[in-house]
Amino acid sequence: MAVTVRIPTPLRSLTKGEETVTAEGGTVRAVIDNLEGAHPGLRERLLDEKGIRRFVNLYLGDEDVRFLDGLDTQLKSGDELSIIPAIAGG
Positions that interact with other proteins (CB under 8 A): 8-10, 19, 54-55, 57, 59, 62-64, 66-67, 82, 84-90
Smallest separation, CB 16 to other proteins (Å)? 14
Smallest separation, CB 26 to other proteins (Å)? 23
Nearer of residues 11 and 24 to other proteins, judged by Cβ:
11
Distance, CA of 21 to CA of 3 (rounded, Å) = 8
Nearer of residues 12 and 24 to other proteins, judged by Cβ:
12
Provide Rg for the chain, Cα atoms.
12
Number of H helices, E strands in the chain: 2, 7
Question: What does DSSP assign to residue 26?
Answer: S
User: Residue 56, SS3?
Assistant: strand
Smallest separation, CB 78 to other proteins (Å)? 18
